[in-house]
A = this chain, B = another copy of it.
Amino acid sequence: MRIAVALKPGHSDPEGETATRLLKELGYKVETVNVSKVYNVFLEARSRKEAVMKAEEMCKRLLANPTKDKYTIVVEEQK
């Protein structure tokens, strides 16, 4: 499954700001760049529901910072 972790609106994103500045300096008409991180997690689960539950737990316990991050989870089944 894919877990995308991005900053909540209003939080400063220095990596995105740097990319914006550099791309502008290279001549691109860029408004803004936001950077997020995607974790491709290969996990054993009995059902889609269980996979989503585990992914949410993982975000809360390790992958995301509840103060500043939001996350989205996409489960892909493999047989």
Give the residues in chain B near A63, CB-CB below 8 Å: 19
Residues 3-21 of chain A: 1 if any B CB is under 8 Å from the residue's CB, otherwise 0?
0100000000000100100
Residues 42-53 of chain A: 1 if any B CB is under 8 Å from the residue's CB, otherwise 0?
111000000000
User: Copy number in this complex?
Assistant: 2
Question: Taking A26-B61, A61-B26 as contacts, is the C-beta distance between A31 and B43 under 8 angstroms?
Answer: yes
Give the residues in chain B near A26, CB-CB below 8 Å: 58, 61-62
Residue A23 CB within 8 A of the other chain: yes
Give the residues in chain B near A44, CB-CB below 8 Å: 29, 31
Give the residues in chain B near A68, CB-CB below 8 Å: none
**CA A19 – CA B41 in complex, angstroms?**
9
